[in-house]
Chains A and B, each alone.
Chain A
Amino acid sequence: MIVFLTTTHLIVGALMLVTSLALTLHSYRLSERTKTALRPNPLKEEFST
């Protein structure tokens, strides 16, 4: 039983690590999208002046 508990504890820890990493990477990707979207478009400004 100890073997089952400790090994599963280790495996679930690994799954938590990669799930948290995947969430972080996805949200980083979204923040990059936001930055790109909020960046002023120089071409548009050139035409408007």
Chain B
Amino acid sequence: MLSLFDMSDVNSQISNPPLAPFAKEELWPHRLAVVLGCATFPLLFIGGLVTSKGAGLAVPDWPTTFGYNMFLYPWSEMVGNILYEHSHRLVASCVGLLTIALAVALWFGERRTWLRWLGVTALLVVIAQGILGGLRVVLRQDTFAILHACLAQAFFALTVGLALFTSREWAGELPQAPITDSGRLWRLGAITTALIYLQVIFGAVLRHTGERLDAHLFVAGLVALHVSLLIWRVTKYHVARLNLVRLAGSLGILLLVQLLLGVGSYFAKFTTLCGCPWI
């Protein structure tokens, strides 16, 4: 007969099953996917800075930089808004190279066909993203800037997905442990993710055109509601699943920070109520 201690040990094994070791050739796609995700994050940040600073057209040509090969442009001339725009291009090139490396590593080192094609999809997305960024500069149209902003977030999400799919936990065996409510949870999660992405789209429209603040605020309410539901469902039905609890907790904290930042941005950008000199 199992003692209480033994039973809790069994329960923890079901909740967090032991992971199978990775084969050496399977390690590289995962490492590359993690590095790619980590490199895409600062790229997003610099891209955001480019828009916030109004530096998108500081370098008027593309793919060259003031007639120079992008990689040979003198560092000494990277000043002011040129610094933001040109750094964005250089970091984007690194992300492009990493995506090529990941696609190749997945194609030759991954057994799952769908994941190999997902690597190819990431490569196509990063190429499209580069072309959109270039077209925004050359044709000077806000539509391309909005598409570029939306695709950037989709690409970041794709890199995080790739890092998860190539992880040891995802590639491992499925333990035979029935879990109640998991179907509802993932459907709610999918709706929440879709709403957050819709919010990203309205956010990009608002940032680049100053329009559709109403839609951005409305979807913000929907996102807040769905994130709250998601946290409630995880804490009620999946409290033993540490990774779900951590993710739901992080999402809750991010939502609070995001709402505060949203209110701050609104007052700073769209109203004259806040006549603060520091703004």
Partner-binding segment picked from B24-32, B92-100, B129-137, B175-183? B175-183
> With A13-B200, A17-B196, A27-B244 as given contacts, are A7 and B179 in contact (CB-CB < 8 Å)?
no
Report yes or no: A12 in contact with B265, Cβ–Cβ below 8 A: no
Q: Which residues of A contact B223 (CB under 8 A)?
A: 16
> With A5-B264, A9-B261, A12-B261 as given contacts, are A17 and B174 in contact (CB-CB < 8 Å)?
no
Taking CB atoms and an 8 Å cut-off, the chain A residues in 1-49 that contact chain B are 1-3, 5-34, 36-38
Interface of B is mostly: helix
Q: Bound state CA distance, A34 and B175, in angstroms?
A: 9
Q: Which residues of B contact A24 (CB under 8 A)?
A: 186, 189-190, 192-193
CB proximity of B130 to chain A, nearest CB, Å: 19
Report yes or no: B157 in contact with A21, Cβ–Cβ below 8 A: yes
> With A11-B48, A24-B189, A24-B193 as given contacts, are A16 and B258 in contact (CB-CB < 8 Å)?
yes
Contact of B53 among A3, A20, A31 (CB under 8 A): A3
The closest CB in chain B to the CB of A11 belongs to: B45
- In the assembled complex, B35 has its CB within 8 A of some CB on chain A: no
Question: Interface on A for B, CB 8 Å cutoff?
Answer: 1-3, 5-34, 36-38
